[in-house]
Amino acid sequence: MRRFVLPLVVLACAAGLLRGQAYEIKVKAYPAKGQSVKHTDTSRQVTHVKVTDGDGKVIQDKKEVADVKQVYVETSVTESVKGRPSKFTRKYEKSGTTKGDETKADAYEGETVAFELNKDGKYVAKAEGKKELSEEDKKKLEEDLNREGRATDPMQELMPDKAVKVGDSWEIAGKKLAAFIGGKDVTADKSKGKGKLVKVYKKGEQQWGTIEVNADIAMTIEKALTKTNFTMTLDVAIDGSSSAGKAKAKMTLTQDREVEQNCMKFKVAIKSEISGDIDRVEVK
């Protein structure tokens, strides 16, 4: 029995040291120059729209479900500056949307697309093969990367400004949430969030950790107030050594507004739930 005592003591001491150690959290958005990460991203959006007239009669009650799946290998062609490379590529193995029994593949499925910064600091998408991207596909691929007001390294906006210990929480200011989401829709002074370092662990020489984020975000969409709750759990390298990792996120948007049509007023209640999983694995 005595031979088990020393290992248990060592483990207990190590756990105590980890709990007491403070970590400066740095997350990496893109792989290093010449390296690749395989992304498997799945999401489901469930949107429920209910329309009632002035007497409370239900005029429309509609629910729509859309599933999106993308599998691609992302490779950095150049070194990252301020969190992003001037050029990177994505080789799309899968990319499509399923609604009901119908699945529609994107035109660039099976293609490699290069993204390169122009003189205005915006990413421009271009197919590397013989097949050119349509203007619609170009806009779709560039839109998220070039979202106005979004930080160059948006995930870092959710991280603490100082070192934290396991179990510590930190406030996420509204302006940081606005920089994370991007666009002009977020009302920063009415938004707030909180992050927490749940645990830390080693993967070889890399320092990894589990982080939880919960935020209430006020947005204005089509001139109507939209209340948004956002939750996310991250398992990532917190020392900035790798862009690999996993994320599970959920966003719930609710909006109530009045519209007028043909001199009649209607109440429109919209609820949209978006849930997603991201899995990023280094390609050797």
Confidence at residue 131, expressed as pLDDT on a 0 to 100 scale: 84
Segments in 83-237 forming alpha helices (H): 135-145, 174-181
Confidence at residue 87, expressed as pLDDT on a 0 to 100 scale: 97
* Contact (CB, 8 A) for 37 and 243: yes
| 134: DSSP letter | P
* Contact (CB, 8 A) for 209 and 200: yes
Tokens linked to 258: 């009045």
Give the Cα separation of 272 and 275 in Å (integer): 10
Domain 22-283 is in which class? mainly beta
Spell out the domain ranges in the chain.
Answer: 22-283
* Contact (CB, 8 A) for 220 and 226: yes
Confidence at residue 61, expressed as pLDDT on a 0 to 100 scale: 94
Dihedral pair phi/psi, residue 148, rounded to 5°: -60, 135
Confidence at residue 16, expressed as pLDDT on a 0 to 100 scale: 53
| 276: DSSP letter | E
Segments in 86-134 forming alpha helices (H): none
Confidence at residue 5, expressed as pLDDT on a 0 to 100 scale: 54
User: Between the CA of residue 264 and those of 146, 222, 251, 261, what are the distances in Å?
Assistant: 39, 20, 32, 5
* Contact (CB, 8 A) for 122 and 147: no
- Per-residue pLDDT tens digits of the chain, which is 284 residues long: 455 555 555 555 555 555 579 999 999 999 999 999 999 999 999 999 999 988 889 989 999 999 999 999 999 999 998 889 999 999 999 999 999 999 999 999 999 999 999 999 999 999 998 889 999 999 999 998 998 888 888 999 999 999 999 999 999 999 999 999 987 789 999 999 999 999 999 999 999 999 999 999 999 888 888 999 999 999 999 999 999 999 999 999 999 988 888 788 899 999 999 999 999 999 98
| 32: DSSP letter | P
Dihedral pair phi/psi, residue 132, rounded to 5°: -90, 155
* Contacting residues for 87 by C-beta, under 8 A, at least 6 apart: 76, 77, 78, 114, 115, 116, 117
Burial of 58 (0-12, 13-18, 19+ CB in 10 A): exposed
Contacts 24+ apart (CB under 8 A), 177-182: 177/215, 177/217, 178/149, 179/149, 179/150, 179/151, 179/154, 180/150, 180/151, 180/154, 180/155, 181/147, 181/150, 181/154, 181/217, 182/147, 182/148, 182/149, 182/150, 182/151, 182/154
Confidence at residue 230, expressed as pLDDT on a 0 to 100 scale: 97
Burial of 26 (0-12, 13-18, 19+ CB in 10 A): middle
Confidence at residue 161, expressed as pLDDT on a 0 to 100 scale: 95
Confidence at residue 81, expressed as pLDDT on a 0 to 100 scale: 87
Give the DSSP H/E element, type plus range, for residue 59: strand 58-76
